[in-house]
Amino acid sequence: MNDQIRDRQRLRIQLLQDLYDYHFGPEERSFHLPGPKKNVGPLTHKETRLAYDYLHKKGLIDIKDVVGYMHFVITPQGIDLIEDRLLGQHSNQT
């Protein structure tokens, strides 16, 4: 059970880190994935959906359903959490 919890924590941090990297990358400021209703992509995986839902409920990301695609944006709180982790000030917010 402890390994499963650690795996979930790692998944949430990785998803948040990916959104952080995407946000500050050369492309658009948000990330789009096919919605789970399309039955394709990572959102068809239960743990990934739960992780995104958790990050959203914690206020670390915003999620909008835009014509069958999920639109993800990291929030200022999510940016702060990743930057604190990168600077070595780990937090237990996730």
Say what the pTM is.
0.78
Query: In this model, does residue 4 exceed pLDDT 90?
Result: yes
Instruction: Round to whole Å and give the CA distance between 24 and 27.
Output: 8
> Kind and range of the H or E element at 41?
none
Which pLDDT does position 32 carry in this prediction?
Answer: 62
Predicted confidence band at 94 (pLDDT cuts at 50, 70, 90)? low
Instruction: Tell me the CATH architecture of domain 2-86.
Output: Orthogonal Bundle (1.10)
pLDDT of residue 82: 95
5 against 32, higher pLDDT: 5
In this model, does residue 51 exceed pLDDT 90? yes
Please give the pLDDT value at position 25: 80
DSSP track, 7-35 = HHHHHHHHHHHHHHHHHTSSS-SSEEEE-
Domain map of the chain by residue range?
2-86
Q: Cα 91 to the chain's mean position, in Å?
A: 16
Kindly give, in sequence order, each residue whose CB lies less than 8 Å from that of residue 13, ignoring residues fewer than 6 positions away: 85, 94
Which stretch of DSSP H or E encloses residue 36?
none
Q: What is the mean pLDDT of residues 15-38?
A: 72
